[in-house]
Structures are given as C-alpha cells and as structure tokens.
Amino acid sequence: MRSSSLARRVTWAVTGTAAVFLLVISLLAYETFASMEDNLVDEVLSGQIASLRDDLAAGMVMPVALPPRWSEGGRVQAWVQSADRPPPLEGMFAAAPGGREIVQTGRTWHTWVEHIPQGLLYVRYDATTHEDRVRFFGWILVGGSMLALVGAWLLARRLANRVVAPIRAVSDQLSAWEGGGAPPDEVPQGDEALQLIEAFNRIQDRIDRSVAFERQFAANLGHELRTPLAVLRSDCEMALLAVDAGTPLEARLKRMMIQVDAAASSLAGAAALNSADPSRVRCVDLARALEQAWFALEHMARMRGLVLDSRIPPGQTRQLDPDALLIVLRNLLRNAIEHAAPATLRVSLDPQGTLVLRDDGPGIEPGHLARLREWRAGRADLSAAQAAGTGHGLGLGIAQRVCELRGWRLEIDSVHGGAESGTCFRLDFHSVFCKLDS
C-alpha cells in the first residue's frame, strides 16, 4: 500500500490551516455585514415610525391604510386601526406591541406594532433588498475563499516540495553510499521520512557488520600472534640460561624479551581500543604501571636523550584497566621520545589526582597545536602535518580513543620556544582509589 508522501501531508496540513483561517474570517465578515444590514433596516424603520408618530400627534387626518413610502431601497407601509379590530394582513403582525422579522413568499419583512391615541399603528418594511445584498456578499465571500484556497494549495505544494527536497537528497545520497540500496519491495514508497529512516537503517546495519567483522578479525589476529610470541619468549629464556651473565648477548636477549612482552601486552590492549569491558578493571599501582611502560622504551629514550623523572608517590593506586593504561602511557612516552628529546620528562600527580606528564622540550607550534586539538575533537585531520614530518598524530589519536572509551580525559598544552618551552599532558582518570592486596 502506497503511503502518503511527506510533501503531500505538508501540503494538506498548510491548506487545511488556511481553510480554517478563511472560514473563521468569512463567518465573522458575513455576520458583521448581516448585523450592519439589520441595524440599517432598524434605523430606517425607526425613522419612518417617528415621522408617522409626529404626523399623527399633529392631528393630521390619515386614512386607515397609509400610502406606501419608499426608503433606502425598501417599501414602508402603515395602518392605523382601532384596538378592537384584527391586525391587517393576517399573520403579518404580532398580537402584542413590538417588532419582529417575518419571511413570507420569498420576501423578508420587518414589522412594528405600537399604541397611539387613534388606536394601533401597524408598520411593515420590505427588507428583501437588504437580505439579497447580504446573500450576495456571502456568495462573494465563498468565491473569494475558494480562490484563496486554491492559491494556498498551490503555494503550500511549492513550499512542501522545497522543504522536502533536502530530505530526498539526503536519502538518495545515503542509498548511493549504501551501494545499490534495498530491494524495491522493501523500500517504502511515497513517504520521504520513512525512506530517509530506512536509508539510515541500511547504513547503520552495514557499519555494524563492518565493525563486527573488524573486531572478529582483530580477535583472530591476536589469537594467531600470541602463540609465536610465547614460543619466541621461551626461546629467549632458554638462550639466557646458556649465556654468561653480564655479556652483551645477555643484554640483547633481555631486550628481546622486553619487546616480546611489550608486543604481547599491545595485543592484549588492542581489545581496549574497541571494548570497555568492566571485567578488565582492577587495582593498578600508577608508579609500577609507569615503570612497566618505560621499561620497554628505555633503550630508545636513552639513545634520543630523554630522561624520565618519576615523582609519583608510592602506593598511589586507581581502579583501572591496566592494558588501557599501558597503551596510553606508552604512546605518551613514545611521543615525548620522538618529539621532545633531548629533554627531561617529569611525571607527577596534582592535588586532584590527575596524572601530569610535563617535558622541557621545544614544545609544539601554536598552529599545529590548534590543528592537533581539532583533530582529537573529530573536527579536522593531520594528513598535511604528517606529510610534512611534524608528527604528533596516530599515537596521540590512539591514546585519545582509549581515554574516550574508558571515560578518562586527556588534555594537552604546550609552549613553543623560550625559557618556558615544553609540552604538558594531563590525564584525569575519574576513577576511585583502591588498595592493592598485600
């Protein structure tokens, strides 16, 4: 069944509103005009009655049936009779004094009866011309309202098409992105809003399938890599048993084990990029976590000239995901090694418990710092900056993504050049304190 389109519904809604407005205005205008005509008839009749009353009071002798008088397009007729005689023109006048309106044989009459010294005065006024004028005005209102409704419908249709056009364009664009769209029998016909919703649903389904595939692929890849990493670590351990202590080979094998452990930890933490599983959270010592992250990068830092100055008091613990914390710390440390060295990186906790990493390196240029903040907020990209070799891109993006998933807040500030040059990262965990088991 074809549903009514949004443009059609908007058209009829606007036209219906205009129709109600025109109906109210027309009824008010018609009632006002009819009331004005009635008042005019009453004034004419009152004037004629007053004139007849003055003539009779002056003692003028008048026949029983006064000759008709014409006034304001209507004929005025009057009769003077004694009170004991029946009213003239049976059914025309009321038995009691006063006025009334009566319609006979397609004509409208206004009548009046009152006591005078000569008996009873009967007066009637032919108001048919006035009533015809009111009806003619009513037909003018009907015709004008119909023309106005047709104009309102045409304007509403044009307006509705202009309003709905962007919705149709977005729906068509989404269908093009989706790649062929849904089968014709599944696409809602007529209703642009339903078509847009259906297009969004198809895009969302496709994105969900893509995300599920990527997560499954990452899980399978991690599973495939853990076994060779475990074998490689075992071989390093066996090789360490066969070498003399203090030799360069022993140091090389230990570094290999450190890098294998770092790769295994990165695989375990890769799931943290797409997951916020509460079961991963446990009590973590911040100083030990920093040492673990630094241990795998210490050789590279020594070559680049970066010195770590850890001022985290012992026993400072938080309820955190340790793999996620290691990913963030390693990326921040690697960023300092690559872009701040040679320098000193001081790590401390402020009074609010926020982890502060501050280096005394050259800092980040203001323009690039602004682009970096926009990119981390999802409003820009750093492809041009990365092509130019300025860096500060992917590693910080990974750290920011992990922080967003965990509800942490990562802020960056930097001063470029001068005695106060350097970059400062502030990592607020928003987590509770805990106590490690002894």
Annotate 382-401 with DSSP letters as a single string.
-HHHHHTT---SHHHHHHHH
Distance CA 184, CA 164 (A): 21
Distances (CA, A) of 361 to 306, 328, 343, 382: 9, 20, 5, 21
Tell me what pLDDT residue 385 has: 44
Indicate the residue among 149, 181, 210 that finishes a domain: 149
Phi, psi angle pair for 269, to nearest 5°: -85, -15
Tell me what pLDDT residue 399 has: 83
pTM of the model: 0.47
Tell me what pLDDT residue 290 has: 93
Tell me what pLDDT residue 81 has: 84
Q: What is the pLDDT of residues 342-356, one digit of tens each?
A: 999 999 999 888 999
First to last CA, the chain: 71
Instruction: Say which residues have a Cβ less than 8 Å from residue 64's Cβ, sequence separation at least 6.
Output: 79, 80, 81
- Count of structural domains within the chain: 2
Q: Are 424 and 280 in a shared domain?
A: yes
Tell me what pLDDT residue 73 has: 58
Region for 59 from its dihedrals, namely left if φ exceeds 0, alpha if ψ lies in -120 to 50, beta otherwise = left
Tell me what pLDDT residue 183 has: 44
| 184 belongs to a structural domain | no
Tell me what pLDDT residue 342 has: 92
Distances (CA, A) of 404 to 64, 328, 375, 427, 432: 106, 11, 14, 11, 17
| 324 belongs to a structural domain | yes
Tell me what pLDDT residue 281 has: 84
Q: What is the pLDDT of residues 59-110, one digit of tens each?
A: 766 665 566 665 555 688 888 888 888 888 888 888 888 888 888 888 888 8
Residues 348/312, Cβ–Cβ less than 8 Å = yes
Indicate the residue among 134, 149, 164 that finishes a domain: 149
Residues 79/68, Cβ–Cβ less than 8 Å = no
pLDDT, averaged in runs of 10, over the chain (438 residues): 70 91 94 91 86 79 60 74 84 86 87 87 88 92 93 90 81 71 50 75 80 74 76 84 83 79 67 61 91 85 92 90 87 90 93 92 86 59 44 69 86 88 91 64
Q: Which helix (H) or strand (E) holds 120?
A: strand 119-126
Distance CA 299, CA 341 (A): 13
Best CA proximity match to 300, nearest among 249, 334, 252 = 334
| 89 belongs to a structural domain | yes
| 127 belongs to a structural domain | yes
Q: What is the pLDDT of residues 194-228, one digit of tens each?
A: 777 777 787 788 787 887 777 777 777 777 777 78
- CATH number, position 325: 3.30.565.10
| 436 belongs to a structural domain | no
Indicate the residue among 101, 133, 149 that finishes a domain: 149
Distance CA 250, CA 252 (A): 5
| 244 belongs to a structural domain | no
> Structure tokens of 410?
């990562």
Q: Are 280 and 423 in a shared domain?
A: yes
Residues 428/354, Cβ–Cβ less than 8 Å = yes
| 434 belongs to a structural domain | no
| 358 belongs to a structural domain | yes
Structural domain containing residue 395: 275-428
CB atoms within 10 A of CB 98: 11
